[in-house]
Chains A and B, each alone.
Chain A
Amino acid sequence: MKKKVVVENLSKIFGDRPEKALDLVKKGHSKEEILEKTGQAVGVYDVSFEVEEGEVFVLMGLSGSGKSTLLRCINRLIEPTVGKIYIDDEDITSFSEEKLRELRRKKLGMVFQRFALFPHRTVIQNVAFGLEIQGVEERERLAKARQLLEMVGLKEWENAYPDQLSGGMQQRVGLARALASDPGILLMDEAFSGLDPLIKREMQNELLSLQSKVNKTIIFVTHDLDEALRIGDRIALMKDGRIVQIGTPEEILTNPANEYVRKFVEDVDMTKVLVAEGIMKRPEMVAVKEGPRVALRMMREAGISSIFAVTRDRRLAGIVTAEDAYEARERGEKDLTNILITDIPTARPNTPVSDLIPILAESKFPVAVIDENKKLLGVIVRGALLAGMVRKRDETE
């Protein structure tokens, strides 16, 4: 994987004598002490991380943790005090005004918390803004903007003004505007925090499905842990301007680096984080070409009332119940094709547990976990689901 954004030992001090403040942080003084002593505010201190191409990287922390400041350092809306930032292997902290402008125009798109749409421009003019700034000819930029509006589902609204749109719609426009010049990197600053919970969820899903189409590198700032866990490939948890832990959502939850992270993730709804893979069990299975006699014996040994039937290459064919197998044996059938039940619930390894619960509740069969080739990987039964959740909980405590 290519490293798209690399941040090395970045610090940002607000004030006129940053050296003094940097010195004090190094000695271990807290943010408040430094502000009191020197009048300098520590925004970000000694932060390093790498973001890979196509990754959704979340900067998470409470307000005042420096996450938005850090994000703004990446496109230099805020000048970093010390440290380096590489985008596509170029050190952008040394860029001239002109090169910086070029970088912002071509490689970086930004989405803002309060949308920051231009109220005097129509929706389509807003989306075309970046291209207009670059001097792209009017017909071309409007065509491109129209295409993006279609992608976010706002085609009919192109001549409306932002204040005629709901919050969710406005942020779609903001997203389309950021994508218009086709940047490789998307910076999103609390992009969904101003939306009400249902719309927020919808937008998160939409971002993820959009991401699977456009495959951008996304750096996403949020204070909402659920949001971070939902959309982040990796999460950097920040506190007082420093990064406390970087890891996948699962790593952060199951293996918190310190007390602060542990406290932070304590109240997480485990069903949203745990995925099928984490709680599935080794499946009992029988080959379709085997007879009902073999199937019955295996069920009896495992103490279960139904068993998955698979093809020779372990692909899921269906399920067989003990009752049907018994009757098939009485009829003297040689294989399982006649009694195979194919309409059964399945899940992928990354399906969250919260989605499994309704499936399990409705089906009388266990859920089969399969990969994209329908290969059977595991099974989830009701008992295992509960046990899995309890086990994870214990591990984190």
Chain B
Amino acid sequence: MNAIPKIPMGEWVEAFVAFLDTYFGGFFEFITNLIDTIIDGFSSALMFLPPVVLVALLMLVVWLLTNRTIALWSGVGLLLILNLGMWEPAMSTLALVLSATVLSLVMGIPVGILTAWSDLADRIMRPILDFMQTMPPFVYLVPAVLLFNIGEVPALVATVIFAMPPVIRLTGLGIRQVPKDLLEAAQAFGATRLQMLGKVQLPLALPTIMAGVNQCIMLALSMVVIAAMIGAGGLGGEVLRGLQRLDVPRAFESGLAIVIVAIILDRITQKIGGRRKKR
């Protein structure tokens, strides 16, 4: 076995990352600024109001989107987070999750549509998506740090890579599942491709796409916590600190806050998807 030298795969990737950093530094700087702006927008929106007012406002939004029970329990959960003193890290985590979700949707839905339209695009995307989903999430953190430094931006980049695949997959799946005879009908009435997409394919794929959004948010939340290791802060940062100092109360309380945020986000998105499914 010693006769065959090790293939320097890792070194190649390292060289590639260095190459990107050297020649596309400006590009990455641009991305960094863009992402920074998005995250800042969300966190200042969440931090602007006094917590109690925000809790009330969030309850109202949840009520409008879903029902009274979920709104009520969301309020209880959020007040508990406030009481535990986890409000600020929770909001910064939420801001990261929302930013990552928005970016994932903005990029993932068009790619999903493309994979539904073109078999070639589908064949190309499939292995890439498999790769993105099976690679352990920690591994993304390293190149993200090299290209974007430390902090919230690399955390977001890693999160988007990890959370986007279900959006692409389920958008493509949803559109492909639209019955052929409906497409034929739209075509027979003289619909253009865009009209077909907007009036038939997307509305009918919506429940499936919403399932993708739900998964995307859940994955984003889990990744944002992991990304605390590269300075994402938030609730993940609290957990990490609790771990480093073996501070059981702090670790537990921050973990509980994560669970609460996760459950609220999950119920909301599931409810939205489920409501559409009935029609």
Contacts and interface: CB of A to CB of B under 8 A. Distances in A.
A58 B181 CA distance: 22
Interface residues of A, number: 24
Interface stretch (B5-13, B41-49, B90-98, B186-194): B186-194
Contacts, number: 54
If over half of B's interface residues share one DSSP class (helix, strand or loop), that class is named, otherwise mixed; here it is: helix
Interface string B10-42: 000000000000000000000000000000000
A108 interface: yes
Interface string A90-121: 00000000000111110010101010101110
B188 A133 contact: no
Contact of A133 (B179, B181, B191): B191
A133 B279 contact: no
A306 interface: no
Contacts of B61: none
Contacts of B187: 77, 104
A119 B204 contact: yes
B182 interface: yes
A63 interface: no
Given A102-B190, A105-B190, A129-B189, A112 B181 contact: yes
A132 interface: yes
A161 interface: yes
A163 B210 CA distance: 22
A112 B190 contact: no
A130 B204 CA distance: 18
B189 A118 contact: no
B188 A101 contact: no
A118 B188 contact: no
Contacts of A129: 186, 189, 199
Considering the complex of A and B, which 6 residue pairs feature the smallest CB-CB distances, nearest first?
A105-B190, A104-B190, A116-B185, A110-B188, A116-B181, A130-B189
Interface of B: 179, 181-182, 184-192, 195, 199-200, 203-204, 279
5 contacts: A108-B188, A110-B185, A110-B189, A119-B204, A130-B190
Given A102-B190, A104-B189, A133-B190, 19 more contacts: A77-B184, A77-B187, A101-B190, A103-B190, A104-B187, A104-B190, A110-B185, A110-B188, A116-B179, A116-B182, A118-B182, A130-B190, A133-B186, A133-B189, A133-B191, A133-B195, A133-B199, A161-B279, A177-B189
Interface of A: 75, 77, 101-105, 108, 110, 112, 114, 116, 118-120, 129-130, 132-134, 161, 177, 181, 187
